[in-house]
Amino acid sequence: MPVTEFAGSLNQRIELWAHSQERLPSGTASQEREFLLSCRAAIVLEGFGTESEAMSLSAMPRYRLAVRKLPDFSVGHQVRWRGRNLLIRQVVDDPVQPDRLILRCEEQR
């Protein structure tokens, strides 16, 4: 297996956002998001989802992001990149590549 330079492929700046833990006076959860971190990522378009495929909500673009391994990334968090909002659908922690996480995301409107 050829060794590839991981750091050189991280050419996009992303921001990670999570749902706020605050509650509204009515007791319902707030729809606000909290900024968690900003980092570099390698981003690849994986295609477009369909409603019957991989629990996709719509035919929105899907992306695969490679990032340095951090404990902050979780399913349901939002990634903001170039004015797009991407919802993290899967976090892959491959033991063969312990320095990185693979995030499978779907664009939200």
- The pTM of the full predicted model, rounded to 2 decimals, is 0.79
Selection from 30, 31, 39, 36 nearest residue 10 by Cα? 39
Per-residue pLDDT tens for 6-34? 777 899 999 999 987 776 677 676 678 89
- Distance between CA atoms of residues 13 and 69, nearest Å: 15
Tokens 């605050």 label which residue? 22
- Which of the residue ranges 58-62, 66-70, 97-101 would you say has the lowest mean pLDDT? 58-62
Per-residue pLDDT tens for 36-58? 999 999 999 998 766 555 555 55
Contact 106, 85 (CB under 8 A): no
- Domains of the chain as residue ranges with CATH: 7-108 (2.40.10.270)
- 46-83 exposure pattern, b = at least 16 Cβ within 10 A, e = fewer: eeebeeeeeeeeeebebbbbbbeeeeebeeebbbbbee
